[in-house]
Amino acid sequence: MGLFSFLTQELAIDLGTANTIIIHNDKIVVDEPSIVAIDQKTGKLIAIGERARQMHGKTHESIKTIRPLRDGVIADFNAAEQMIRGMIKMINTKPRLFSPTLKMVVCIPSGSTEVEVRAVRDSSEHAGGRDVFLIFEPMAASIGIGIDVEAPEGNMIIDIGGGTTEIAVVALGGIVCNKSIRVAGDGFTNDIQTYMRHQHNIKIGERTAEDIKINVGSALSDLDDPPADYIVRGPNLMTAMPIEIPVSYQEIAHCLDKPISKIESAILSVLEQTPPELYADIVQRGINLAGGGALLRGLSRRLTEKISIPFHVAEDPLHAVARGTAIALKNVDKFSFLMR
């Protein structure tokens, strides 16, 4: 960085299905839900992030809330671009004579197709990125946890995000084998909505289902320190009268059993493809869990019991990917696995 460093702004962006995090100068400057509210008539951006999330499910016909990313990939190109641009504006609140050129590292799911990779790159460039580098999520998560990804040792990382669960074995600065499945936080939320509808005849929205997941979500039906029941209020599907239902963590553990079993079988299939030398490293070191899904109560214990390898939840699982992306931004010249 020389004389013109103030002309360039370096950003690390974790573009997630549920949340987008931007790190600038080692500080998290934006941590907002990945959602935008758009005026239907003019196509203008009304709100972004938390403000748009508060509108979600409560809008009238002229406002539309959009989640630009579905299953970890861009589903609405225009909304994604507006969202990235709006979030970058949140950092640059001071008036400037000219806008700085942006150098950014953006992370993407490891199962992305060429087209999906291109969509992320194009959106980032349209939002003002001059130098755009891409990094795969499991790589970013490994770096963020503090794993030396360039060492000749095998490490397994599982990143349970909003749209996808990324499972990868990393060694020598590359991904040896990986699997990306579309079972993750959003899937858990949908399952909770369906369960409440069938089991209790109550209609709940996405946000309420999310609150249930946070308050009483569990992967095991016998926890050491169980959370208190969560009271859910909503209309009865038959009568439309308001009802109140206490939801216990055992119910949610039962409801999330299927999606978690899918994650288990995906982990086993990646372990099957792992070369024996790396497999030995993984058994010795254990498997790392990152992403918001890692916060689900009892998940690491359930996986450890099922797969007989110790599972460790990362220190700050929600920000592991973003931190790794920020470290990659500093070492753009050194890390050969970044894609231009």
Structural domain contains residue 36: yes
The whole-chain average pLDDT of the chain stands at: 91
Q: Is residue 324 predicted with pLDDT exceeding 50?
A: yes
Mean pLDDT value of segment 204-210? 92
The lowest-confidence range among 124-133, 137-146, 243-252, 302-311 is: 124-133
pLDDT at 220 over 60: yes
Regarding predicted confidence, which is higher, 241 or 334? 241
Q: How confident is the model at residue 3 (pLDDT cuts 50, 70, 90)?
A: very low
> Could you list the residue range(s) of the whole structural domain that residue 45 is in?
5-140+321-330
Of 99 and 227, the structure prediction assigns the larger pLDDT to 227
Asked if residue 188 belongs to a domain, the reply is: no
Q: What is the mean pLDDT of residues 262-278?
A: 95
Tell me whether residue 207 is in a domain.
no
Summarize pLDDT for 138-161 with one digit per residue, the tens.
999 999 999 999 999 999 999 999
Q: Does residue 44 lie in a domain region?
A: yes
Residue 99 has pLDDT above 80, yes or no: no
**Domain containing residue 134: CATH number:** 3.30.420.40
- Report the pLDDT averaged over residues 285-302: 95
pLDDT reported for residue 77:
86
- In the structure encoding, which two tokens stand for residue 93, read together? 């609140």
Q: What is the pLDDT of residue 265?
A: 96
At 76, the amino acid letter reads: D
Give whole-number Cα distances, 57 to 53, 54, 222, in Å: 9, 8, 34
Question: Which burial class, exposed, middle or buried, applies to 192 when counting CB atoms under 10 A from its CB (0-12, 13-18, 19+)?
Answer: buried
The structural domain count of the chain equals: 1
Residue 273: inside a domain: no
Q: Which of residues 190 and 90 earns the better pLDDT score?
A: 190
Instruction: Say what percent of the chain tops pLDDT 90.
Output: 69
Q: In the prediction, which pLDDT does 96 show?
A: 67
Residue 9 pLDDT: 86
Examine the pLDDT at 94 and tell me if it is beyond 70: no
- The residue whose two tokens read 């490994």 is 142
Higher pLDDT, 333 or 135: 135
Indicate whether 79 belongs to any domain. yes
- Is the pLDDT at 181 greater than 60? The verdict is yes
- pLDDT of residue 60 exceeding 70, the answer is yes
Angstrom CA distances, 164 to 72, 91, 111, 180, stand at: 6, 28, 9, 6
Hey, what's the torsion of the CAs at 194, 200, 202, 207, to 10 degrees? -50
Confidence of residue 2 (pLDDT cuts 50, 70, 90): very low
Q: Say if 102 falls within a structural domain.
A: yes
Any domain includes 290: no
Per-residue pLDDT tens for 31-49?
999 999 999 889 889 999 9
SS3 for the chain is CCCCHHHEEEEEEEECCCEEEEEECCEEEEEEECCEEEECCCCCEEEECHHHHHHCCCCCCCEEEECCEECCEECCHHHHHHHHHHHHHHHCCCCCCCCCEEEEEEEECCCCCHHHHHHHHHHHHHCCEEEEEEEEHHHHHHHHHCCCCCCCCCEEEEEECCCCEEEEEEECCEEEEEEEECCCHHHHHHHHHHHHHHHHCECCCHHHHHHHHHHHCECCCCCCCCCCCEEEEEEECCCCCEEEEEECHHHHHHHCHHHHHHHHHHHHHHHHHCCHHHHHHHHHHCEEEECHHHHCECHHHHHHHHHCCCEEECCCHHHHHHHHHHHHHHCCCCCCCCEC
pTM of the model: 0.89
